[in-house]
């Protein structure tokens, strides 16, 4: 039943146009704008074929409600969340479907702090959407659209403040990257230059169809594995299409479970955090890493909204999921693969060890994941 629109606190998601179309995107953006009532909504999109269409529908609804729109164009959702934490916006909308197949897309809602909506906020938006009680501005009081450029230099500077930049640059890591032709692709060259990486990219042409399912895991890592072996790279990584998730391939060309992302980030942040949040289904490797790094680990239900709001309530500095997602609240409330990559580079540089050596210290566990189709 993939032709049904899936609605959650994170937004609406479905196959285009059978479930998610211009009308549903427009209505949902109208409901969100009506809930916000005033101010400016920041918006971005990925490179999926349907994203521009859905973004245009959302923008039209925003300005029809009398709110302004700050259009950041093609940037990862995590970039928008990073910037929203620093600037004053009423809320945010991202048109991006992350790890879902190419026919899918999503309209994701963010609150004024760049976080996914919590349950009570989402319920109000849903009620407005169901009642179709939309705020409509007069002809002479419509909102305006302004183009904005994401401050990549600021982003890289703040990433650098979290780690030992000098040590990473000195290490001159050779790294293979597979961004899956996603929205992170245009930013990888600048990232590699900043951290002095010898970067080898594959599947790095935005707007091209996905070369494999856009979910970073061992099953989709065969291309990166082959290139790591052929180039004697230090490691490789895969991203999902919106850059929120990351999985790794070690220096031997062996793909690693995406479940290693969170524990590796926790080890990297040892001594810098006291609490972290993960979900009920994340591997117990995360428990081991939290105990090793002196971090108290809390668990909640699945989803970025649940994790981010427990982080806020409990005063936890970090959080993530076994999907390869990680967030560090002092930096940004969003799951950010380049943040995860930076922390892992820092861990390797500090310990002067390769990935396989670091992973060899983890407990030996049997781990198996199953995907079960569930009707909406």
- 333 and 237 in a common domain: yes
How deeply is 138 buried, as exposed, middle or buried, from its count of CB atoms within 10 A (0-12, 13-18, 19+)? exposed
Q: Is 324 helix (H, G, I), strand (E, B) or coil?
A: coil
CATH label of the domain that carries residue 34: 3.40.120.10
- Tell me whether residue 307 is in a domain: yes
Q: Which residues pair with 6 in a beta bridge?
A: 13
Would you say residue 370 lies in a domain?
A: no
Is residue 73 within 8 Å of 23, Cβ to Cβ?
no
Residue 12: inside a domain, yes or no? yes
Q: Specify the pLDDT at position 1.
A: 42
Q: Are residues 204 and 348 in the same domain?
A: yes
Domain that holds residue 108: 6-150
Q: What is the pTM of this model?
A: 0.95
Q: Which long-range contacts (CB under 8 A, 24 or more apart) does 147-150 make?
A: 147/71, 147/73, 148/42, 148/70, 148/71, 148/72, 149/72, 150/72, 150/75, 150/79, 150/80, 150/83
**For position 42, what pLDDT does the model report?**
98
Other beta carbons within 10 angstroms of residue 18's beta carbon come to 12
What single-letter DSSP state applies at residue 252?
T
Q: How many residues are listed for the chain in this entry?
A: 376
Is residue 1 assigned to a domain? no
Residue-level pLDDT, tens digit, the chain, 376 residues = 457 899 888 789 999 999 999 999 999 999 999 999 999 999 999 999 999 999 999 999 999 999 999 999 999 999 999 999 999 999 999 999 999 999 999 999 999 999 998 888 889 999 999 999 999 999 999 999 999 999 999 999 999 999 999 999 999 999 999 999 999 999 999 999 999 999 999 999 998 999 999 999 999 999 999 999 999 999 999 999 999 999 999 999 999 999 999 999 999 999 999 999 999 999 999 999 999 999 999 999 998 989 998 999 999 999 999 999 999 999 999 999 999 999 999 999 999 999 999 999 999 988 788 878 777 6
Regarding whether 261 and 143 lie in a shared domain, the answer is no
| Whether residue 124 sits in one domain with residue 104 | yes
Return the number of other C-beta atoms located less than 10 Å from residue 189's C-beta.
12
Residue 26: enclosing H or E segment and its boundaries? helix 22-36
In a shared domain, residues 195 and 341 = yes
Residues 173 and 51 occupy one common structural domain: no
Residue 369 lies in a domain: no
Q: Give CA–CA dist 275/284, Å, rounded.
A: 16
- Cα(88)–Cα(41) distance, integer angstroms: 10
On whether residue 366 sits in a domain, the answer given is no
Query: In this structure, what DSSP letter does residue 299 have?
Result: E
The answer on 162 and 108 residing in a single domain is: no
> Are 168 and 181 contained in the same domain?
yes
Q: What is the DSSP string of 77-126?
A: HHHHHHHHTTS--SEEEEE--TTS-TTEEEEEEE-TTSPBPPHHHHHHHH
210 vs 104, 178, 183, 188, CA distance in Å? 12, 11, 12, 17
Peptide bond into 17 cis (omega under 30): yes
Nearest CA to 298 out of 322, 281, 314 is that of 314
Same domain, 130 and 187: no
Strand partners, 106: 13
Instruction: Work out the burial of residue 167: count CB atoms within 10 Å of its CB; fewer than 13 is exposed, 13-18 middle, 19 or more buried.
Output: middle
Provide φ and ψ at 18, rounded to 5°. Answer: -60, -35
Q: Residue 4 in contact with residue 14, Cβ under 8 Å?
A: yes
Helices (H) and strands (E) in the chain, counts: 13, 15
How far apart (Å, rounded) are the C-alpha atoms in residues 352 and 314? 34
pLDDT for the residue 376: 62
Q: Indicate the residue among 150, 174, 205 that finishes a domain.
A: 150
Three-class secondary structure of residue 326 per DSSP: strand
Q: Which of 124, 150, 176 is at the close of a domain? A: 150
Is 94 a member of any domain? Answer: yes
Among the candidates 150, 170, 204, a domain finishes at 150
Domain shared by 131 and 172, yes or no = no
Work out the number of other CB atoms within 10 angstroms of the CB of residue 371.
6
Structure tokens at 82: 């990073």
**Does one domain contain both 302 and 227?**
yes
Q: What is the pLDDT of residue 338?
A: 98
- 98 within a domain of the structure (yes/no): yes
Residue with tokens 């002479």: 140
Are 230 and 206 within 8 A, CB to CB? no
* Statement to judge: residues 80 and 68 lie in one domain: yes
Quote the number of domains for the chain.
Answer: 2
Query: Measured between alpha carbons, how far is 25 from 21 in angstroms, rounded to an integer?
Result: 6
């Amino acid at each position: 039943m993939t032709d049904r629109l899936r609605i959650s606190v994170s937004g609406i998601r479905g196959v285009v146009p059978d479930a998610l179309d211009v009308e549903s995107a427009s209505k949902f953006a109208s409901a969100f704008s009506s809930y916000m009532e005033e101010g400016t909504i920041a918006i971005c999109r990925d490179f999926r074929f349907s994203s521009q269409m859905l973004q245009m529908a959302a923008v039209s609804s925003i300005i029809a409600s009398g709110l302004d729109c700050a259009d950041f164009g093609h940037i990862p959702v995590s970039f928008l969340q990073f910037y929203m934490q620093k600037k004053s916006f009423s809320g945010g909308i991202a048109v991006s479907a992350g790890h879902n197949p190419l026919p899918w897309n999503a309209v994701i809602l963010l609150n004024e702090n760049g976080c996914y909506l919590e349950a009570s906020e989402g319920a109000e938006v849903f009620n407005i959407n169901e009642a179709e009680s939309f705020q409509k501005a007069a002809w002479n009081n419509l909102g305006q659209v302004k183009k904005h450029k994401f401050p990549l230099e600021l982003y890289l500077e703040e990433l650098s403040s979290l780690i030992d930049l000098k040590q990473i640059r000195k290490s001159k890591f050779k790294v293979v990257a597979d961004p899956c032709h996603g929205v992170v692709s245009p930013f990888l060259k600048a990232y590699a230059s900043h951290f002095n990486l010898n970067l080898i990219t594959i599947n790095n042409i935005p707007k091209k169809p996905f070369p494999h399912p856009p979910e970073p895991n061992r099953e989709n890592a065969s291309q990166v594995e082959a290139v790591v072996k052929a180039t004697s790279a230090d490691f490789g990584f895969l991203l999902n299409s919106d850059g929120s998730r990351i999985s790794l391939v070690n220096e031997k060309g062996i793909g690693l479970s995406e479940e290693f992302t969170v524990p590796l980030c926790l080890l990297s942040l040892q001594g810098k955090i006291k609490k972290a949040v993960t979900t009920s289904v994340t591997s117990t490797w995360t428990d081991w890493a939290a105990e090793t790094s002196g971090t108290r680990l809390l668990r909640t239900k699945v989803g970025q909204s649940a994790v981010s709001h427990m982080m806020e309530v409990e005063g936890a500095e970090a959080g993530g999921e076994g999907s390869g997602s990680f967030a560090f609240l002092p930096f940004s409330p969003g799951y950010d693969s380049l943040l995860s990559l930076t922390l892992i580079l820092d861990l390797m540089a500090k310990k002067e060890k390769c990935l396989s050596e670091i992973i060899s210290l983890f407990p030996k566990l049997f781990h198996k994941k199953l995907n079960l189709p569930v009707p909406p």
